[in-house]
Structure 1
């Protein structure tokens, strides 16, 4: 990666505005496919944002696995193992545990249904890891202290003006991707507004507290601790490093609380911990929890991703993870257009596919947000009495019934699909119902390909490659015609043969065409009569006029 300044007027294939977790992943996806990228990030190099993100979920970790990021992120996790990777609901740190969801943040054992398990690591670790991986990509020029100020587009490409320490510069590219966050200034130039609702006004504080770890001795030291007590703050604390760095969150902000007041913040925190202690390096901010989306993510040669395109409640942990999904979907499609094998319909499917999925996830996360605070608090729940025990039991049962989907969201992580997409070839099976909590592996076209661990310990996903993959589950099946059609169209293509009965049972067909993002594009027991038609469909080259 070149970190020196771009030469004025230098031309790239893609420019990425914004270098947070989503912007860096977008640049990595493109560079992984050989695309020349300029990424501009307003923050200094080595400055990593202390954002709300802590969870890279199972699907994000599968994408990170493809990009060589997953294991390195685990190695960069600064939170020590003494913090259980659990979600714990308690009255106070010196009070009683109401419910502990073991392994909700990070599973210890690999799952049969996924190539990866979630990783609970602070956003600083995520950005640090992505930055390290970008350094190894020769086709990426990453500029820090450099912000995209303006752009112009026409039918041939995009011209971008960006500012840096040495003044403004101009760069051009065929496409521009806006990954500049919820407060994107560039989005206004598209005359595009995020539509939806504001769910709550929220506050968060980052601070250091050397004594805090020891104050959980009566309860449990977890990655995610939710306090429910008769003060009604409904607040959360999360460890951020081995150096007693924590983040505190309250959403919604309780009545009468100034979110930027250290006095109000410390009063709430001391109450929920049940003791006073030293706090240093405290910085607070007020923010809004939203359920909002753009009407489209496609604006000619300008595309929008991550928080610049959609906002969701943090309860569920999907904000960054949806943006990583955007990068996985858009990355292969942009590469296809730039490499000449993508058809005229392909890029438009970015909005069609991602918006439907993200509406489903955003709605589920909004439900998580609405059952908080006073709705989960009962009178006498902190008493050492029979009625106190009964109140705690009632709260625990309510948490199990209503909050488990927030922390066991495998359906939202792995079970979403692109069934209605015009680059998916549907068969006789109907689209499965998307369920936020539950996931059932299905190979219906549009679904994420069902996962299998192979006998050598590798994941089936490791063998799909970076282009289209024809999964061949019958050694006798003929595949040559489809391979030849892909060659004629210049589509990156491979065939992977797997002779296992459990795979045939799971996939239900003998031949399955897998997209570069690991979703099923087509399946059948034999190739179609017209393999050119199949290849043209999945690369977005068919016209229905």
Structure 2
């Protein structure tokens, strides 16, 4: 096998967590030779961290050919309802049941995929298997990037493995090795913002625990709300009865590293003791932090290396998947020769404001938890207790529902004001965390339509730009020729479907590789070359 140092790579990625693998898959599917350097073994998957691939990320999984594979990789048994439950105890009272909070029962009309709730090891296995199938992607395990030096023409990456320090050159370097990244610190950059509080997670095996939910419901996630006010959560993690137990925030005076203390807290919330074994625990923070820029010459920050969001809402990894989709097609465009000199600088311009919006909403979710939801008499077997629980249910629905009904943050963000988006003077719908209103205004995610059962409009857009043409009488040849002249890949489609006509307000809509609308109009522009130059990041460089 040819050594890494003698091979030629176009992109090096530091870190093979979900976000690092996502950007490598995006690049690999576009024919970009990519090296991913990861300290863990090739078959070492993380545990009890992320559980939710949201609807938007699942749409990217669909593009990458792994949406159904990911569902098949979910090891949690079907008898676990994919609901979110707020309950006093496992053997107590249900306060609120959010049915299908993490997996919709039926396809969504507004998205090509529904969220998938599956343990972290399933997410990593799905991505790792796909990455290993791509001839253009090389995974280097048991190694870690220690340094990088940029020049005008390339990046030299130093990494340490079993054979000591080595170097490899590439055109671009992506930093995807998490919030404590020393590589980010080499850029004299920190994640600015606040830490809301610290939490603890424990992963263990409990063969009889599932049976103790008979009084409530065995669900994907159970939030315990009782007068102990621990702010704790139980989550099934495997078919052989592994569980995740989360306490957020760590109560004052509790040693989160003391398993005996944590175990007693968990027993109280469940309502009785049960057999547990193989415990592993760690402490982590609920952070609301963001880097000032994600672009640094030929180096780019993505995922937790660029931003940290509080966990309630499930956006940490999913924001990183969005980063990967954005920077991936742009780097590939530049390396393929049709991306312009301004294209890569739009990565921060587009993604940072979106991340800030999601972090703000997720912070709101986190502050309404634990003691903030505790009420006197909430566990009483009495009319007073019933009324307290009813009032609390109403409060949660009014103030906290966006935690698990967040389609606005998943699907409704837009890249308004981006220099590679051509606006038409129309204001998009207000951007809200919970509610999503489809819109074809430039910068928005292109409205989704089912053309037939299982047949999404997105399945026909291609891997480059797509021109959605709703009037056969329009001559789009000038725009197609302008694209071909600079090598910009362009697919033209004319679906005959009433829902497409209803969702799209113009006869022509130009859609980017990441599904966002770049331009729209009722006729091709007078200067098609100028339009193509804008959307590919070459305006001003003609």
Extract structure 1 runs of 4+ deviating beyond 6 A.
Answer: none
What is the CA–CA distance in structure 2 between the aligned matches of 1:119 and 1:287, rounded to whole Å?
Answer: 24
Q: Secondary structure at the match of 1:8?
A: helix
**Equivalent residue for 2:96?**
99
**Equivalent residue for 1:42?**
39
Q: Is the Cα–Cα contact under 8 Å of residues 9 and 170 in structure 1 kept in the other structure?
A: no
Q: Is the Cα–Cα contact under 8 Å of residues 84 and 219 in structure 2 kept in the other structure?
A: yes
What is the CA–CA distance in structure 1 between the aligned matches of 2:39 and 2:172, rounded to whole Å?
Answer: 20
The unaligned stretches of length 5 or more in structure 1 are none
Q: Is the Cα–Cα contact under 8 Å of residues 364 and 436 in structure 1 kept in the other structure?
A: yes
**Equivalent residue for 1:14?**
11
Deviation at 1:380? 0.8
Q: Secondary structure at the match of 1:190?
A: coil
In the TM superposition, 1:152-301 aligns within 5 A as: 152-301=149-298
Q: Is the Cα–Cα contact under 8 Å of residues 104 and 114 in structure 2 kept in the other structure?
A: yes
In the TM superposition, 1:333-344 aligns within 5 A as: 333-344=330-341
Deviation at 1:8? 2.4
**Equivalent residue for 1:307?**
304
Q: Secondary structure at the match of 1:248?
A: strand
2:115 to 115, 118, 124: 118
**Equivalent residue for 2:353?**
356
What is the CA–CA distance in structure 1 between the aligned matches of 2:483 and 2:141, rounded to whole Å?
Answer: 40
What is the CA–CA distance in structure 2 between the aligned matches of 1:19 and 1:223, rounded to whole Å?
Answer: 26
CA deviations 1:284-318 (Å, max 9, x no partner) are 11111100010000000000000000000000000
Q: Is the Cα–Cα contact under 8 Å of residues 17 and 177 in structure 1 kept in the other structure?
A: yes
What is the CA–CA distance in structure 1 between the aligned matches of 2:122 and 2:400, rounded to whole Å?
Answer: 27
What is the CA–CA distance in structure 1 between the aligned matches of 2:437 and 2:453, rounded to whole Å?
Answer: 25
**Equivalent residue for 1:483?**
480
**Equivalent residue for 1:451?**
448
RMSD, aligned CA: 1.2
Q: Is the Cα–Cα contact under 8 Å of residues 451 and 497 in structure 2 kept in the other structure?
A: no
Deviation at 1:141? 1.0
**Equivalent residue for 1:66?**
63
Q: Is the Cα–Cα contact under 8 Å of residues 191 and 289 in structure 2 kept in the other structure?
A: yes
**Equivalent residue for 2:515?**
518
**Equivalent residue for 2:79?**
82
Q: Is the Cα–Cα contact under 8 Å of residues 48 and 203 in structure 2 kept in the other structure?
A: no
**Equivalent residue for 1:419?**
416
1:393 to 390, 393, 406: 390
511-520 or 157-166: bigger deviation: 157-166
Q: Is the Cα–Cα contact under 8 Å of residues 313 and 403 in structure 2 kept in the other structure?
A: yes
Q: Confirm or deny that 1:436 pairs with 2:433.
A: yes
493-502 or 278-287: bigger deviation: 493-502
Deviation at 1:456? 6.2
Q: Secondary structure at the match of 1:289?
A: strand
Deviation at 1:244? 0.6
494-503 or 523-532: bigger deviation: 494-503
CA deviations 1:186-240 (Å, max 9, x no partner) are 1111111000000111111011101100000111000010000000101001001
Q: Is the Cα–Cα contact under 8 Å of residues 12 and 38 in structure 1 kept in the other structure?
A: yes
Q: Confirm or deny that 1:326 pairs with 2:313.
A: no
Deviation at 1:9? 4.9
**Equivalent residue for 1:403?**
400
CA deviations 1:130-170 (Å, max 9, x no partner) are 11111210011110001111111111110011111222221
Q: Secondary structure at the match of 2:417?
A: coil
Distance 1:487 1:544, change over 3 A: closer
Q: Is the Cα–Cα contact under 8 Å of residues 511 and 523 in structure 1 kept in the other structure?
A: yes
What is the CA–CA distance in structure 2 between the aligned matches of 1:220 and 1:326, rounded to whole Å?
Answer: 36
In the TM superposition, 1:455-470 aligns within 5 A as: 455=452, 457-470=454-467
The unaligned stretches of length 5 or more in structure 2 are none
Deviation at 1:428? 2.6
**Equivalent residue for 2:132?**
135
What is the CA–CA distance in structure 1 between the aligned matches of 2:472 and 2:235, rounded to whole Å?
Answer: 51
**Equivalent residue for 1:500?**
497
